[in-house]
Chain A
Amino acid sequence: MEPHIQVKDLNAFYGKQHVLKNINIEIPRNKITVIMGPSGCGKSTLLKTFNRFFELTEYTRLTGNVLIDGQDIYNRDVDVTEVRKVVGLLAQRPAVLPMSIFDNVAYGMNIHNMKKDRNKTREAVQHYLEIAGLWEEVHTRLHDPATGLSIGQQQRLCLARGLAVEPEIILGDEPTSALDPISSQNIEKRLIELKKDYTIVIVTHTLRQAKRLADHVIYMYLGEVAETNSAPEIFTNPKHERTKQYLDGIF
């Protein structure tokens, strides 16, 4: 099957610092791809090039291509808001918008003018809260401020909010690192359920989480992709010396 995301000769610079070096990878559709590697190797940066968040930082430069469904997202006539609608992001720490739980989920639908009337919006909000496994907990207080939720609930709300704009790809930059173990498990469970409909790319530092989630692994080292392979392959039989050391916990 054709890969969902293709990265070709990608190089990224913060000022003069060369942080991504000749990245060439393919990310398979409807799978969970896990990006691993030591701190500072460029995992977050790589993720940010997929939804064009990299350019939000000043004095950065990017060369090469990122293709989503064969379309170069850095092409001149591609609308950046369209890219970000297709490529959702689950941040490290949940950032709920300063509005009600309901309005958080409805926010993306409103900015894209997706629902014709209030009833459709209400149905959709319920639908996505259910997918994120939050509906049961919040359906009696949908119009309370979202900041009143626990961190774990907030992260699931962010998931629902992201899904509501109907993306095809979900990026997660250590999406469970700020959460307690139960909430983390909850998010992991959602992600596994979601992969039948979405392509998921996750950065994680926990090897065990990687083993639980990954179908496909990208191992990065010092701005380069050291090794990329299917999960069973890379966990049982790592080819690259650095990957081996990382898996053995030498880092």
Chain B
Amino acid sequence: MMQQKPSDPLSQGSGQTQAFLQTRNRRDRTARKAFFGITLIPVLLIIVITCLLVIRAWPILSSQPLANLMLGEVWKPTNEQFGFLPFILGTVWVTLVGVILAVPACLLVAIYLAEYARRSTRTIAKPVLDLLAAIPSVVYGVWGLLVIVPFVDDILGPFFHRWLGFVPVFSVTQPTGFGIFAGGIVLAVMIAPLIIAVTFEVLSTVPDELRQASLSLGATRWQTISRVVLPRVLPGIIAAVVLGASRALGETMAVLMVVGNVPSIPTSIFDTAYPLAALIANNFGEMMSIPLYDAALLSAALLLLVIIMIFNILSTFVLQRILGKARI
């Protein structure tokens, strides 16, 4: 059968196809708008929540200089003293210990899985790691209470105190097991799957040709990883760690259960602490008769939200550039 002279549907189509094309395009535009609208909802939600927090926190934010709040060391709601410093430092310490404990192990695991492991090992290890990420926070908390706190109390605390006690950061002054170190250990385990998964993804973006180029020159695996692979993905690995840190900053339940919750300024990893998230969770809804108390808690929430948002945006930005570029 002979082909008809090819017709250009844009200019020469029959009336019917014209109409069809128009509806089709209109639908496409509508769908596009609808999807855009739905995508906008989370963004709006963040804006709304932030605004709400600002409004509710305003009474205290406007009553005194920000520095007073942030650097105040005393927390006595009954005296209307709202110093956030113990909580800010509590958050920083617990997060820092968690990240420091998690990162080296996570990097090794991710490097092992991405660079050394056989495919069969990977197919087993990955779901197990995902499972670890799916365990509810409160379960980690219970595990922390039952296992980690006694472990810190009976073994780690005495050990560190004996051998490194002369360094203030490692000395034990309140031997209960509850405190920053226990919180850090629990956090480290909780953020590990995320850091491992993201680092693994980042490592997978390195093209195999590069590894082969290095290996073909007689480099060992480790030389290839340390001189070719890692330098290339360093920003991505930092972003993975920051993402893990932002997860740790906001983690509430598990930490709250093991960290002691005493609003004082910690000087040792075996001291108790009171992170911002725990403060909010423990107190919100209580003692609301004290003026400004509610505002103080909500400004704590605002503070936490802002810090986490900054961490998240930075790391997502870096990761998108790395992962996005490789996927094109």
**Chain A residues within CB distance 8 Å of chain B:** 51, 53, 56, 58, 81-85, 88-89, 91, 93, 95-99, 107-108, 111-112, 158, 161-162, 165
A58 touches B118 (CB 8 A): yes
Per a CB cutoff under 8 Å, which of A88, A91, A93, A111 touches B227? A111
Per a CB cutoff under 8 Å, which of A84, A99, A158, A165 touches B215? A84
Task: Tell me if B223 is interfacial: C-beta within 8 Å of chain A.
Answer: yes
Per a CB cutoff under 8 Å, which of B212, B215, B217, B232 touches A98? B232
- Docked CA distance A107–B223 (Å): 10
Residues of B contacting A53 in the complex (Cβ-Cβ under 8 angstroms): 212, 215-216
Interface residue tally of chain B, by bracket? 10 to 19
Known: A81-B219, A95-B209. 10 other contacts (CB 8 A): A51-B216, A58-B119, A82-B218, A84-B218, A85-B217, A85-B218, A88-B216, A97-B214, A111-B220, A165-B217
B223 touches A111 (CB 8 A): yes
B210 touches A95 (CB 8 A): yes
CB distance from A83 to the nearest CB of B (A): 8
- Docked CA distance A97–B210 (Å): 6
A91 touches B217 (CB 8 A): no
Per a CB cutoff under 8 Å, which of B207, B213, B218, B227 touches A158? B213
Q: A58-B119, A97-B228, A111-B223 are contacts. A84–B212 as well, Cβ < 8 Å?
A: no
Per a CB cutoff under 8 Å, which of A51, A56, A58, A91 touches B213? A91
Chain B 229-271 residues near chain A, CB threshold 8 A: 231-232
- 9 tightest A-B contacts by CB? A85-B218, A95-B209, A89-B216, A108-B217, A95-B213, A84-B218, A81-B218, A111-B219, A98-B232
Residues of A contacting B214 in the complex (Cβ-Cβ under 8 angstroms): 97, 107, 111
User: Beta-carbon contacts of B58-77 to A below 8 Å, as 1s and 0s?
Assistant: 00000000000000000000
B219 touches A91 (CB 8 A): no
Residue on A nearest B206 in the bound complex, by CB = A98
Interface centre among B119, B207, B217, B219 (most CB of A within 10 A): B217
Residue on B nearest A51 in the bound complex, by CB = B216
A-B contact pairs, 29 of them (CB 8 A): A53-B216, A58-B118, A81-B218, A81-B219, A84-B218, A85-B217, A85-B218, A88-B216, A88-B217, A91-B209, A91-B216, A95-B207, A95-B213, A96-B213, A98-B228, A107-B214, A107-B219, A107-B227, A108-B217, A108-B218, A111-B218, A111-B220, A111-B227, A112-B218, A161-B213, A161-B217, A162-B216, A162-B217, A165-B217
- Docked CA distance A53–B228 (Å): 18
Residue on B nearest A112 in the bound complex, by CB = B218
Residue on A nearest B224 in the bound complex, by CB = A111
Per a CB cutoff under 8 Å, which of B207, B220, B227 touches A81? B220
A98 touches B210 (CB 8 A): yes
Residues of A contacting B227 in the complex (Cβ-Cβ under 8 angstroms): 107, 111
Residues of B contacting A162 in the complex (Cβ-Cβ under 8 angstroms): 216-217
- Docked CA distance A248–B19 (Å): 57
CB distance from B187 to the nearest CB of A (A): 34
Residues of A contacting B215 in the complex (Cβ-Cβ under 8 angstroms): 53, 56, 84
- Docked CA distance A99–B207 (Å): 15
Residue on A nearest B215 in the bound complex, by CB = A84
CB distance from B231 to the nearest CB of A (A): 7
B217 touches A107 (CB 8 A): yes
CB distance from B135 to the nearest CB of A (A): 31
